[in-house]
């Protein structure tokens, strides 16, 4: 009896010792001679010990804890189920797919390491950290960007080995109405020389498709007498301005203003009608949609 009890206690002790190790996760990605290893412990919402290691062959050039000022007080692994064209990015509380990727983003022969992070909270936030090798310092330097609520999809739109970040312009969120009524127009970025570049205008077909989507949403509000319509028409106007359809946008907004179809759920704090049109034009100019 005593011997059986000692065995039971020993088994219980071993199971407790092994419990934290069972929660540890290691994710690895590789391209060429570059290998990135992302480790962390725990599960949502309690992740700890986030760490990234980058090696070329057998030589480790980067080995640091993961941190981001964009995360605030909370930084968790994010998963990019949309990687390489499988659909829009999907962030999950307990990522089932890898959060680390090795890709030659700027097609220079030197793979970059991409790390997906998630800051948690309502409508927030998808963060990408990109680690580029610096031969001068023989280490990796980090560039990061907050893609906000829409997240991003890493795609090769031209099938030529050059990657783009397909996303939406999160600056439109809450700009003219509440989040539910905000339209976020398409945005496409590239990454090179440790910087992101907005190249959306290079893809008129994708812009036109996005504009059609927002116009359909706007027209669908007729049954509700265009209640809270300004967010949808703002996204449409942004897309059409990128296509150079300035006169179309001006005439359409004028006709909809006259018909009383430009309304915000946050009125009177957020204007409708002529006040909305004036604010929209100023916003589009400040954000590069109007040249």
How far apart are the C-alpha atoms of 42 and 50, rounded to whole Å? Answer: 10
Cα pseudo-dihedral 170, 245, 191, 113, rounded to 10: 50
User: Among 22-31, 240-249, 276-285, which stretch is predicted with the lowest mean pLDDT?
Assistant: 22-31
Looking at the structure, tell me whether residues 27 and 98 fall in a common domain.
yes
Cβ within 8 Å of residue 135, ≥6 positions away? none
Looking at the structure, tell me whether residues 153 and 217 fall in a common domain.
no
User: Among 18-22, 49-53, 217-221, which stretch is predicted with the lowest mean pLDDT?
Assistant: 18-22
Q: Is the pLDDT of residue 49 over 70?
A: yes
What residue ranges in 14-75 does DSSP mark as E strands?
Answer: 25-31, 34-43, 46-56, 59-65
Q: What is the mean pLDDT of the chain?
A: 86
Question: What pLDDT is attached to residue 46?
Answer: 84
Across the range 219-227, mean pLDDT stands at 94
Q: What is the pLDDT of residues 245-277, one digit of tens each?
A: 999 999 999 999 999 999 999 999 999 999 999
* The model's pTM: 0.85
Asked whether residue 233 is assigned to any structural domain, the reply reads yes
193 in the Ramachandran plot: left (φ > 0), alpha (ψ -120 to 50) or beta? left
Considering 147, 168, 189, which residue would you say is the last residue of a domain? Answer: 168
Work out the number of other CB atoms within 10 angstroms of the CB of residue 3. Answer: 7
Asked whether residue 244 is assigned to any structural domain, the reply reads yes
**Higher local confidence (pLDDT), 23 or 118:** 118
Question: What pLDDT is attached to residue 14?
Answer: 35
- Domain of residue 259: give its range: 209-286
3-state percent helix, strand, coil for the chain, nearest multiple of 5: 30, 30, 40
Q: Could you tell me the pLDDT band of residue 160, with boundaries at 50, 70 and 90?
A: confident
Dihedrals phi, psi of 35, to nearest 5 degrees: -125, 130
Question: What pLDDT is attached to residue 75?
Answer: 86
Q: Could you tell me the pLDDT band of residue 5, with boundaries at 50, 70 and 90?
A: very low
For tokens 């893809």, the residue is 203
Looking at the structure, tell me whether residues 77 and 153 fall in a common domain.
yes
Looking at the structure, tell me whether residues 156 and 90 fall in a common domain.
yes
- Name the nearest CA neighbour of 85 among 158, 154, 168, 151: 154
In Å, what is the CA distance from 242 to each residue of 40, 199, 281? Answer: 42, 11, 13
Q: Is the pLDDT of residue 210 over 70?
A: yes
Determine if the peptide bond prior to 235 is cis (ω within 30°): no
**Higher local confidence (pLDDT), 114 or 161:** 114
How far apart are the C-alpha atoms of 260 and 277, rounded to whole Å? Answer: 12
**Residues facing residue 168 across a β-bridge:** 186
Looking at the structure, tell me whether residues 162 and 67 fall in a common domain.
yes
Q: What is the pLDDT of residues 80-106, one digit of tens each?
A: 544 333 333 333 334 457 999 999 998
Across the range 37-55, mean pLDDT stands at 92
**Higher local confidence (pLDDT), 85 or 220:** 220
**Higher local confidence (pLDDT), 226 or 79:** 226
Question: What pLDDT is attached to residue 278?
Answer: 97
Across the range 196-225, mean pLDDT stands at 97
Q: Is the pLDDT of residue 22 over 60?
A: no
Give the rounded percent of residues in the chain with a pLDDT score beyond 90.
71
Dihedrals phi, psi of 136, to nearest 5 degrees: -65, -40
How far apart are the C-alpha atoms of 26 and 36, rounded to whole Å? Answer: 10
Q: Could you tell me the pLDDT band of residue 79, with boundaries at 50, 70 and 90?
A: low
Considering 168, 199, 226, which residue would you say is the last residue of a domain? Answer: 168
Asked whether residue 194 is assigned to any structural domain, the reply reads no
Looking at the structure, tell me whether residues 155 and 87 fall in a common domain.
yes
Work out the number of other CB atoms within 10 angstroms of the CB of residue 133. Answer: 20
Question: What pLDDT is attached to residue 44?
Answer: 77
Q: Is the pLDDT of residue 225 over 50?
A: yes
Total domains in the fold of the chain: 2
């Amino acid at each position: 009896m005593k011997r059986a009890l000692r065995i039971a206690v020993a088994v219980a002790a071993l199971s407790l010792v092994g419990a934290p190790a069972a929660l540890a996760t290691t994710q690895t990605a590789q391209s060429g001679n570059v290998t990135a290893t992302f480790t962390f412990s725990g599960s949502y919402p309690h992740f700890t010990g986030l760490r990234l290691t980058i090696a070329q062959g057998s030589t480790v050039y980067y080995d640091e804890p993961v941190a981001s000022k964009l995360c605030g007080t909370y930084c968790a692994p994010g998963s990019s189920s949309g990687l390489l064209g499988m659909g829009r990015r999907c962030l999950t509380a307990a990522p089932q797919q890898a959060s680390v990727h090795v890709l030659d983003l700027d097609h220079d022969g030197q793979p970059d390491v991409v790390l997906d992070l998630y800051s948690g909270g309502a409508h927030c936030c998808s963060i990408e950290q990109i680690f580029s090798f610096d031969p001068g310092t023989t280490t990796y330097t980090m560039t990061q960007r907050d893609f906000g609520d829409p997240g991003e999809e890493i795609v090769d739109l031209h099938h030529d080995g050059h990657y783009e970040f397909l996303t939406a312009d999160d600056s439109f969120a809450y700009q003219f109405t509440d989040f539910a009524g905000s339209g976020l127009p398409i945005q496409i970025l590239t990454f090179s020389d440790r910087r992101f570049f907005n190249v959306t205008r290079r893809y008129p077909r994708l812009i036109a498709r996005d504009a059609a989507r927002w116009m359909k949403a706007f027209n669908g509000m007729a049954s509700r007498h265009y209640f809270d319509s300004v967010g949808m028409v703002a996204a449409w106007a942004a897309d059409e301005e990128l296509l150079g359809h300035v006169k179309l946008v001006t005439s359409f907004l004028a006709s909809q203003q006259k018909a009383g179809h430009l309304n915000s759920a946050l009125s009177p704090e957020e204007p409708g009608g002529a006040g909305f049109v004036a604010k929209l034009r100023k916003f589009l100019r400040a954000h590069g949609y109007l040249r």
